[in-house]
Structure 1
């Protein structure tokens, strides 16, 4: 494998945030092993192979950092906004329908982050998220409202434990008590591959995806998407607790 081939394959492999993270750590003097912690676990072996091919000596290390900065820049695309509708009779004329969302998830290459009030098994996302969670190299993270899912008597909603079992090995997080009160998770969004962010009024159910009037927007912006994901991660342990898989 030539240097040019290694550089091309590395550019195809890394996300913007991963390229930035590795470059930042190498520039700070970290070892390659430490720097690669910025890369999703399923792709670290390949990333190491390409970077090892390109590295070697201080001058080559600087070239690697420059290449990673170039990948970061190439992945930084201008923001695009697309409306997303649910409307009875498929009457919406602008943008795709909410029923197209499982297709977005099916095309994920690296990561999916999902936040919702609760799940319904009738939702198209129920099967789509399970499929992508089982795919090698794709990390899946889900945030749920504990009381909405786990309160007895809530019809048809799977519990947080059932969601964790259905989506394993994905990480599932549920709200917990904070400052003496239960936290409600009413944020409904999907983040795909650290750059595509879907924010929607629709619950993840068949009716919300097919029968209601619901509106959302798909935002293609890596900086915004990564900021949202980072905010949620920083709330873990404080507002959310990890659901243990059966």
Structure 2
């Protein structure tokens, strides 16, 4: 495999590769197809595509779409599943530690989605998410339980979380059938390919001293399916914090 082709595979997410392949096979130019890619990433993706096609001599649209579909297919298969532990005394000797999620979030290039019941300032994600949200090139979505702060005075409200994460989209649960919906799903999705599903809330105790177990899965298909499910439920289960709140620094 050439350096240029490997670089293209590293640059594109599976979704981007599939969207570009579909657009090119439908007769769109590369410039037109690139409108499907996040604006902040278009220049890098264009360069990677042009370098790969030049190195392979694949100037024909059919060849380019086949190449892109190949990348999408390669990225759709799970490549790794690891346990992610929190154990007192750092007793875990296989897999990742829950506290390592901060490093994964900081490595994000295009998107981070988080869902939790309890988000504490002590969590490694409190500053990691702020850092990523402020870049402007990474889409950040956070789903929170609206009642968690009411039951614990130390838990930041959704308003406070939104103030901490200017530029992110912060959602809190709303009422359905006369009752406040409880958001108990705990996961972190990074770049539409790394998915961590865990028993741990976003807090220092959950990340360092409790007994918690999660799984870190590298699978674009699974990660995107989880994200799309929550996106489809947004309008009936959550409310978006006002933009005026989210721009507070």
Mapped to 1, the partners of 2:104 and 2:190 lie a distance apart of 8
Indicate the RMSD between aligned Cα atoms, in angstroms. Answer: 2.5
Q: Which residue of 1 aligns with 2:233?
A: 235
TM-score of the superposed pair, with normalisation by structure 2 = 0.85
Mapped to 2, the partners of 1:139 and 1:231 lie a distance apart of 17
Runs of 5+ unmatched residues, structure 1:
none
Corresponding residue pairs, total? 238
Q: Which residue of 1 aligns with 2:164?
A: 166
Q: Which residue of 2 aligns with 1:118?
A: 118
Mapped to 2, the partners of 1:197 and 1:22 lie a distance apart of 23
Q: CA deviation at 1:210?
A: 1.2
Mapped to 1, the partners of 2:162 and 2:138 lie a distance apart of 16
Matched, 1:72 2:88: no
Mapped to 2, the partners of 1:100 and 1:10 lie a distance apart of 27
Aligned mate of 1:206, from 183, 187, 204? 204
Q: Which residue of 2 aligns with 1:224?
A: 222
Q: Which residue of 2 aligns with 1:96?
A: 96
Q: Which residue of 2 aligns with 1:157?
A: 155
Report the CA distance shift for 1:37/1:233 in structure 2 as closer, same or farther (over 3 A).
Answer: farther
TM-score of the superposed pair, with normalisation by structure 1 = 0.85
Q: CA deviation at 1:154?
A: 2.6
Report the CA distance shift for 1:226/1:87 in structure 2 as closer, same or farther (over 3 A).
Answer: same
Q: Which piece of structure 1 moves more, 219-228 or 24-33?
A: 24-33
Aligned mate of 1:181, from 179, 182, 188? 179
Report the CA distance shift for 1:89/1:233 in structure 2 as closer, same or farther (over 3 A).
Answer: same
Mapped to 1, the partners of 2:141 and 2:209 lie a distance apart of 27
| Contact 1:7 1:67 survives alignment (8 Å) | no
Mapped to 2, the partners of 1:193 and 1:176 lie a distance apart of 27
| Contact 2:75 2:219 survives alignment (8 Å) | no
Secondary structure of residue in 1 paired with 2:236: coil
| Contact 1:86 1:215 survives alignment (8 Å) | yes
Secondary structure of residue in 2 paired with 1:237: helix
